[in-house]
């Protein structure tokens, strides 16, 4: 198809390549591990801040600080209880921890529904089993058809991608690669060059 004499055709950018969305697909090992690493940093940071607040309060009230150590049994138990509360609460709330929200992964039931508080508590209780079996509980994420770890199988859950990473790009990253030249009104018989 050719343009008629006197018409100016503007350059149209080519359509973006169609890319399949990962939303709703089972989350892979790398995404889940990265989300877990962020969660460990977040929950450890909060736990350390709480210990620092307790130490400060004790030093003000009784003029004597409390020296915390990783060898103190109650510190290890407190950390374990806090980690349990952190994961169970967020999995039961909306299926996403801080790391899960950052990396776009969400815990759902086998049929794709919301995780109940009971399932969230059960998943948080059996989560350490995947570690205690020399990490063998995580092999299902790599080789399983639904990418379920041992704690997922026991709790009746799966982990999926909850948002499309390609649709959630930052604004400056989503500028079109091709831009159309600015449109200038050109009428038949007039010069299309720059004004003199």
Taking only the tens place, the pLDDT of each residue in 14-65 is 444 444 566 778 999 999 999 999 999 999 999 999 999 988 888 888 877 7
What is the structure's pLDDT at 134?
84
User: How far are the Cα atoms of 56, 74, 82, 130, 161 from residue 78, in angstroms, in the given order?
Assistant: 18, 6, 6, 21, 31
Residue 149 lies in a domain: yes
Residue 13 lies in a domain: no
Residue 194 lies in a domain: no
What is the structure's pLDDT at 170?
41
What is the structure's pLDDT at 188?
53
What is the structure's pLDDT at 17?
45
What is the structure's pLDDT at 179?
43
Residue 148 lies in a domain: yes
| Cβ-contact 141, 29 below 8 angstroms | yes
Pairing type for strands 157-161 and 105-109 reads: antiparallel
Residue 75 lies in a domain: yes
Q: Which residue(s) pair with 162 in the sheet?
A: none
Residue 178 lies in a domain: no
Residue 177 lies in a domain: no
Residue 83, domain extent:
29-169
Residue 136 lies in a domain: yes
What is the structure's pLDDT at 172?
40
| Cβ-contact 25, 160 below 8 angstroms | yes
What is the structure's pLDDT at 164?
57
CA dist 127 and 119 (Å) reads 12
How many domains, in total, are found in the chain? 1
Q: Which residue(s) pair with 158 in the sheet?
A: 108
Residues belonging to the chain:
196
What is the structure's pLDDT at 4?
56
Which residues of the chain register pLDDT less than 70? 1-22, 164-196
């Amino acid at each position: 198809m050719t343009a008629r004499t006197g018409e100016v055709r503007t350059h149209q950018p080519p359509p973006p390549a169609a890319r399949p969305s990962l939303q709703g697909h089972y989350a892979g090992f790398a995404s889940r591990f990265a989300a877990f690493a962020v969660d460990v940093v977040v929950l450890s940071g909060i736990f350390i801040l709480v210990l620092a607040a307790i130490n400060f309060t004790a030093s003000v009230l009784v003029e004597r600080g409390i020296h915390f150590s990783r060898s103190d049994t109650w510190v290890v138990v407190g950390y374990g209880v806090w980690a349990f509360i952190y994961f169970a609460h967020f999995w039961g709330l909306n299926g996403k921890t801080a790391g899960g929200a950052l990396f776009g992964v969400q815990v759902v039931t086998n049929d794709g529904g919301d995780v109940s508080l009971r399932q969230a508590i059960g998943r948080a209780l059996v989560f350490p089993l995947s570690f205690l079996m020399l990490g063998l509980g995580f092999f299902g994420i790599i080789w399983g058809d639904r990418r379920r770890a041992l704690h997922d199988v026991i709790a009746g859950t799966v982990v999926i991608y909850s948002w499309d990473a390609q649709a959630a790009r930052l604004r400056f990253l989503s500028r079109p690669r091709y831009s159309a030249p600015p449109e200038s009104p050109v009428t038949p018989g007039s010069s299309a060059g720059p004004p003199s």
